[in-house]
Amino acid sequence: MLNSSLSGITSAKAFIITNTILHLGNVLLVFWLTRLLLKKPEDKILPTTGKSIFIAFVTALLFAIHPMRVESVTWVSERKDVLYAFFFLGALISYLKYQYTTTPPYLFYCFLLFVASCFSKGQAVILPVVLLLFDYWNNRTIQLKVLLEKLPFLVVAIVFGLIAIDIQGGGNLGGLLHPVAGSGVALKPEGINFSKQITYAGYGFMMYWVHLFFPVNLSPMYMFSSPKAFHPEYILGLVVMLVIVAWGIYSLKRNKVISFGIGFFVITILLVLQFLQVGGAIMADRYTYLPYFGLFFMIAFGIAHWSEQQDFRQKLAIGLLVVWLAFFFVMTRKQVSIWQNTGTLFTRRIELFPEDDYRAYSVVAKYMGEVDNNIEAVIAYSEKAIALGYKEDAVPWANLATAYEKKGDYAKSIQYHNDVVRLYPSADAYLNRGNTYLNAQLPAQALPDLRKALAMPNNARKALTIGSLATAQLNAGLTNEALANYNIAINQYGSTNAEYYYNRGVALNQLGKVDAAIADIQKCVQLQPSHIKGNQALVLLGVKK
């Protein structure tokens, strides 16, 4: 709200700048958190050894520039990612402070930051389990006192978890929420049983590890494949997931860094692994925004530990790390360019999966028409969407109708409007077809569609419908009916459309009300000084030379 009130909503720039500032704040918090993790409880100050600084710096740098960050920072709607992580990391820092000092206010600060994180995004509800992981890291005995101090956190987690489940399922919290726009259940593919969900979770888990080291071919969306087909990569993903989890458990008493790093990743990614199916995507880059911290920490610690004994190893490690980070930098720049606008985003989706996503073709077609006015591209992409079995709505057919109308091919445009009316009859569908009839100089054919649109409930463009109906009536010789509807459009709906004033003036003149006609046409020219017909009419009526 603050962003929109200060900078408006016509540009995403201010929103993205704010997201970036929050991301930079998170990078600093990651550096601080890592320093605290490397501190022993008995130490009075943070460690200042080269190794500890190196680990914290590399962890924060990986968190800062990894290409999987781009979606969370650049997508305005994902403000919730950088925001929930900001409070979540703050809560963890406060908890470590509490562990080291046993000062109750730090636990209270942790709780307040946790609540703020939950308000930002539902994924934050997992924090109580992460706190237990931090107890393990600092060798706290899991006794009743340790568990009881987590009880308020657990209550908050349950409450916010139930809220998230209700809203994701299309609910409104028993009428407490009043959406300002349409709401519904997040899209889910049909025919997926629990065994399939497990393999999907395994595949997503595996690919998050693959993209950790090799973030190539990142997609704006990773959609579910057909549940009826056999996908060996999903089985492989399940095996990989089980092996990595087993590795983490095996390391519990052997290598605390590995068990902590894997544990943090598994705990924080668990809720979005599609065990509980949400939406139509099998995975998403944004889901790793916070979970990758555990793996970044593990990698940075491993590099530092492996290279500290030998000078050759140190030089080799630094060289490979620099190359790896440079690769990330290049891929992040590329990923940012993909998120420039709707066209670049969904065009990338088409490049990666040219036969898999009919929605991407439809979105690109709409963008090409509205922004680039590329009619041929609109036609090509819309036809491809239909050929791939588009079934969400009538957008591709509507895109084709608009494109062919712009080309002047009214017959073909009306043909596609017929498809829209047949597939998804609505006030908009009838209004658009009626307007095309009007533009094709066929007012008699436009009248039934415009009357139908006006009579339909939930007509969000009622004023436009009345104005179009009046124009069709005027062109069809129904002057009195046209005048009545222009009066409604102008007087009741407050329209300032210059064309309506001109047409009402024509209707008034036909009915012999010359003075009223002149007043309307003068208003038309006042609203639009370059209106050719209006200026010509005033000359003919003797008002101007």
Say which DSSP state 282 is in.
E
Do both 62 and 146 map to the same domain?
A: yes
Cβ contacts of residue 266 below 8 Å, gap of 6+?
245, 248
| Mean pLDDT value of segment 448-467 | 91
CB atoms within 10 A of CB 223: 18
Cα–Cα distances in angstroms (integers) from residue 157 to residues 83, 152, 177, 453, 528, in the given order: 17, 9, 20, 48, 59
Judgement on whether residues 243 and 304 belong to the same structural domain of the protein: yes
Give the whole-angstrom CA distance, residue 176 versus residue 172.
6
- Measured over the CA atoms of residue 528, residue 534, residue 539 and residue 543, the dihedral's sign is negative
- What per-residue confidence (pLDDT) applies to 185? 45
Last residue of a domain, one of 371, 406, 424: 424
Tell me how far CA of residue 438 lies from CA of 450, 470, 498, in angstroms. Answer: 10, 11, 18
- The reply to whether 163 and 303 lie within a common domain is yes
Rounded-to-integer distance, Cα 124 and Cα 252, Å: 24
- 479 located within any domain: no
Residue 169 confidence class, pLDDT cut points 50, 70, 90: low
- Quick check: is 179 in a domain? no
State whether 102 and 248 are in the same domain: yes
CA distance linking residue 464 with residue 435, whole number of Å: 10
Strand partners, 222: 283
Structure tokens that stand for 14 in this block: 């201010």
Cα–Cα dist 128/137, whole Å: 14
118 and 230: one domain? yes
Those residues with Cβ within 8 angstroms of residue 324's Cβ, 6 or more apart along the chain or in another chain: none
Q: Is residue 182 predicted with pLDDT exceeding 60?
A: no
Window from 98-107, 160-169, 466-475, 530-539 with minimum mean pLDDT: 160-169
What does the pLDDT average to over 221-246? 82
Q: Are residues 418 and 281 in the same domain?
A: no
Percent of the chain with pLDDT over 70: 91
Q: Name the phi and psi angles at 56, rounded to 5.
A: -65, -40
Residue that terminates a domain, selected from 424, 439, 473: 424
Element (DSSP H or E) covering residue 353: none
The answer as to whether 511 is a domain residue is no
Work out the angle between the directed axes of helices 79-101 and 127-137 (0-180°, nearest 10): 40
Asked if pLDDT for residue 8 goes beyond 80, the answer is yes
Among 113, 93, 141, CA closest to 293: 93
Q: What is the pLDDT of residue 228?
A: 59
Which residues in 333-355 are b (16+ Cβ under 10 Å) and which e? eebeebbeeebebbbbbbebeee
- CA 56/CA 35 separation, integer angstroms: 6
Q: What is the mean predicted confidence (pLDDT) over 275-285? A: 73
- How far is Cα 334 from Cα 332, in angstroms, rounded to an integer? 5
Q: What domain range includes position 250?
A: 2-173+186-338
Residue 76 lies in a domain: yes
**Across 75-89, average pLDDT:** 95
- Within a domain: residue 10? yes
Are 367 and 342 spatial neighbours (Cβ–Cβ below 8 Å)?
A: yes
Same domain assignment for residues 224 and 263? yes
Interval 266-293 mean pLDDT: 85
Give the CATH number of the domain where residue 385 resides.
1.25.40.10
Please return the burial class of 93, using the count of CB atoms within 10 Å of its CB with bins 0-12, 13-18 and 19+. buried
Sign of CA dihedral 32, 38, 41, 47: negative
Answer with the residue of higher pLDDT: 225 or 413: 413
Which residues, other chains included, contact 72 with Cβ-Cβ below 8 Å and sequence gap of 6+?
19, 23, 78, 81, 82, 285, 286, 289
What percent helix, strand, coil does the chain show, rounded to 5? Answer: 75, 0, 25
**Residue finishing a domain among 424, 456, 491:** 424
Q: How far is it, in rounded angstroms, from Cα 178 to Cα 251?
A: 49
Verify that 290 and 362 share a domain, yes or no.
Answer: no
Cβ-proximal residues to 484 (8 Å cutoff; 6+ apart), any chain: 470
204 and 353 in one domain? Answer: no
* Cα separations in angstroms, 367 against 35, 132, 179, 374: 47, 48, 26, 9
Residue type for position 10: T
Looking at the structure, do residues 88 and 234 belong to the same domain, yes or no?
Answer: yes
Q: Is residue 61 part of a domain?
A: yes
Q: Are 230 and 262 in contact (CB under 8 A)?
A: no
As a whole number of angstroms, the distance between CA 344 and CA 168 comes to: 28
Q: How confident is the model at residue 184 (pLDDT cuts 50, 70, 90)?
A: very low
Asked if the structure places residue 540 within a domain, the reply is no
Q: Is residue 502 part of a domain?
A: no
**Segment among 311-315, 382-386, 503-507 with least mean pLDDT:** 311-315
| Confidence check: pLDDT of 448 > 80 | yes
CA dist 240 → 209, 212, 230, 285, 515 (Å): 10, 14, 18, 19, 83
What's the domain count of the chain?
Answer: 2
**Does the reported pTM lie above 0.85?**
no
Same domain, 346 and 247: no
Same domain, 356 and 241: no
